[in-house]
Each structure stands twice: as C-alpha cells, then as structure tokens.
Homo-oligomer: A and B are copies of this chain.
C-alpha cells in the first residue's frame, strides 16, 4: 500500500501545472489534467468529427450526464443513480428549489444565510418573485441558522462551506433540525465536493447541487450536478424541465412525462465536450480516499495559518481556527488585501480575493504539498514586509481576481 505522500505525489503528476507557480486557487478553478486534455481532443477527433450525429448513439453521449453523475456521487456520499450532471449550479438550484417548494405547498419561507454564495440568493429571489404567492427569502447570520429553523420554513437552503471564510456548516445537524421542523433542505456543495468527505446519504439531506470546475477540475464553467435523495426522486417535479428529462425524449410526445430516475432533473441537450472533459478530470479521484484528502488538506492549511500568523501578524485570520469547522480554503483579512493578492500573483503565488478585504488560499493535496505552502508564505512575507503591493498597478481593481 502506498502511503498518502506517495498517493498525492502520483495525483500531482496527473495535473498540467505551469512551472514556478504555487496554485492556491483550485477552490475557484481547478487546473487541467492530462486525462481531461487527452479526452477533449479524443472527443473531437474520434467522435464528433468522424461520427457526427451518430455520436449520440455510438459514443455514449446520451448517458454521459448519468455516468458523470455517478462518479460525482461517489465523492459526496451519495449512492449511484442519485446524481446527474447538467447545466450550471444556479440552474440546478432553481430546479431543486422549485421542486422542494412544490413539496411544501403550505409553507412560504426559504431560509438561508448571509454567508451563502450570492447567486444562490439571487436564484431564490427570482423564483420567489415569479411565484408571487407570498413566498419569502429569509437570510439570517450563519450562526443563527439552527435557531431560525421553525415550522414556517418550507426549505432550508445552505452552502456547506462558506465561499469567503471557509466556515463549515454541520450537514448532519442542520439536516436533522430541518426535518424535525418538517422542512426540506438543499445543500450547495460547490466548496466542499472534492475538498472533504460529504455525507449526503448519511445525513439524509434532501437535495444538493454543486459545480464541476473547482475541486473537480472539470474546466472553466464545467457542467454542474444535482442530487436528490432516492425516496424523493419520484415526487420531484421541477418548474424547469425539458426533453432530456422526459421518460422517452425521442418519442417526441406533446406532454412532458418525467423520466423515472434522477434523469428527470435533466433539461436541454447536454454539453458533450464540456461533459467529457469533466468526466475525464474525475478519473484523478479513482482510488483516492477523501478522508486522506481531508487530513492532508488540514495539515497544509494548519501549517499555512501557523506560518502566516508568525511571519505576517498584520494579517487577520478570517476562517475558523478549528479545522473541524472549516473547509479546505483559508482566508486572511488585510486592508490592502486586493493589492497584496495582485503582488502575490505577479510572483507566481496564485490565490484570490473577495471584497472588501479578504485573501483566499485553497489547499488541495492532489497537487499542493508542504513545500508549496512554505514557498507561498515566504513570498507573502516578502510582499507584506517590503510593501511590494504598494504600486498603482496592483491597486487598480479588475473585474475578477
């Protein structure tokens, strides 16, 4: 049996990383893998180009959303046949939120928290506005979610790991509280799938969504995915549906008849090239134990926190200090955080920034090791000590960081 250092040395070889870069932003966009690159070219040259329309029959395109879904299911504690890859996280959230509200017609409150990723709140706002039937989005502070779950709540809608601070909600505890109050719960796993063991089935979570482009390394804007608890699938009826979610898409019947299984969460024609790319990227996870990933990620982030606090005491830890209460990224606040991050990036240490003052650093053991962490802190200390961030170029904000 190889030890975990050997395992992660091997996974690192599966990534195509630029030289002289420490990439601490896999929590925003995962890097390219050898497998994804090869598969994309193969899908184009061996399937699309020569088979043309026959690819749908002969190249497994029609089943790809389920095949990819099953691979993701294995990473989020879900049984086979409960996850399907499709659309974006926002679109999938709309589907399951509309389905969940339809299952609780007598209740009107969607409960979320202010630490949720904004698009999740926007999706709920758009849906609620269109329903026009007295629904309400109630967003409380993250620490007040548990006490805010009561019998007025139709759906609790949370992101497990906070995109800014990395704060980790307890899926088991909050799911149980939601169920005790007769509510349903939706988990957004964007910042947890691939970062830590997720317990969808064990917690009895009702619905989940997540993206394919962060820890799953599927490429920029990769397809997202949806989970529905097995016993809820048959009664799951999203407002947004389409021919690929039909029991018989190629019967071209006039009325929508939802597919029996998780495929009913599909909508339009799946994006095959992007889906194939994600499918191949997921092969990195074969034989990887997420508990090993979690332990290694905690070691790396603890080391990073310790070193930064010792060498850059001006920076304030924004993430929970207790590793059991955070995901696999760590954030520090600093008034000049934006400019510092630009200076870091210019020196090959890539993290990112979230307004107003938060620098984020992600620790993904599949391709990041202790020497990367030490190198990152060394550059960070130099940037802060020597005020290397203090120039117009680094202070000018751009759209994305």
Contact = CB atoms under 8 A, between A and B. Distances in A.
Interface stretch (A116-124, A146-154, A324-332): A116-124
B139 A267 contact: no
Interface stretch (A243-251, A292-300, A312-320, A375-383): A243-251
Interface size class of A (residues with CB under 8 A): 35 or more
A252 B221 contact: no
Interface string A97-121: 0100010000000000010011101
Contacts of A392: none
Contacts of A130: 98, 102, 130-131, 239
Interface string A62-95: 1000000000000000000000000111110010
Contacts of A253: 118
Given A87-B88, A253-B118, A272-B221, A32 B48 contact: yes
Contact of A352 (B53, B127, B139, B399): B53
Interface string A128-154: 011111000001000000000000000
Nearest to A41: B41
A220 interface: yes
A125 interface: yes
Interface in A342-359: 345, 350, 352, 354-355
B53 A256 contact: no
A225 interface: no
Interface in A166-218: 211, 213
Interface stretch (A1-9, A226-234, A273-281, A303-311): A273-281
B52 A90 contact: no
A271 interface: yes
B133 A250 contact: no
A250 B132 contact: no
A129 B272 contact: no
B254 A54 contact: no
A125 to B, nearest CB: 5
Contacts of A41: 40-41
A131 to B, nearest CB: 7
Given A122-B241, A122-B242, 14 more contacts: A37-B49, A48-B219, A54-B345, A56-B400, A62-B400, A90-B241, A121-B254, A121-B255, A123-B240, A132-B133, A222-B271, A224-B268, A273-B274, A274-B274
Interface of A: 16, 18, 21, 23, 25, 28-29, 31-32, 37, 40-41, 44-45, 48-50, 52-57, 61-62, 87-91, 94, 98, 102, 114, 117-119, 121-123, 125-127, 129-133, 139, 211, 213, 219-224, 237-246, 250-256, 267-275, 277, 345, 350, 352, 354-355, 398-401
